[in-house]
Amino acid sequence: MVEPAVLTIEDERDGDACTLRLRGELDMAAVPALDATVRRVLEGAISALTLDLGELSFIDSTGLAAIVHAGSLCDSAEIAFELLPGPRAVQRLFEVTGLDGVLPFGEPAPRSD
């Protein structure tokens, strides 16, 4: 039996900016964890939130909706929101849906590993 991939979320701070580095699969089972983490982070004194998708191995439509919702929460709180692109398979979903031209994608983060 194959074990399901889990989503891990690493919270990195740089002053009043926060980056959430997502690893694993962002699917229906993982969306509540991302939503709870985003809401917790937004309760703090931050001016910017970045979601780093660089280490996602999979994303489905519910994961995509969670990312759009995170952006909406940031807009409501007047917090800057940015996405760092994921691997090709992940970015493909944004391209197919046309959201790659709507969501605020920045440059991929440099990897130290």
- Name the percent of the chain in helix, strand, coil, to the closest 5: 35, 30, 35
Q: Is residue 1 part of a domain?
A: no
Tokens of 29: 């089972």
Q: Is residue 107 part of a domain?
A: no
How many domains does one find in the chain? 1
Q: Is residue 52 part of a domain?
A: yes
Q: Is residue 109 part of a domain?
A: no
Predicted local confidence at residue 47, as pLDDT:
97
- Domain with 28, as residue range(s), is 8-101
| pLDDT tier, 107 (very low <50, low <70, confident <90, very high otherwise) | confident
Q: Is residue 70 part of a domain?
A: yes
Please tell me the pTM assigned to this model: 0.90
Contact 79, 49 (CB under 8 A): yes
Cα(86)–Cα(59) distance, integer angstroms: 10
Query: What tens digit of pLDDT does each residue of 13-61 get?
Result: 999 999 999 999 999 999 999 999 999 999 988 999 999 999 999 999 9
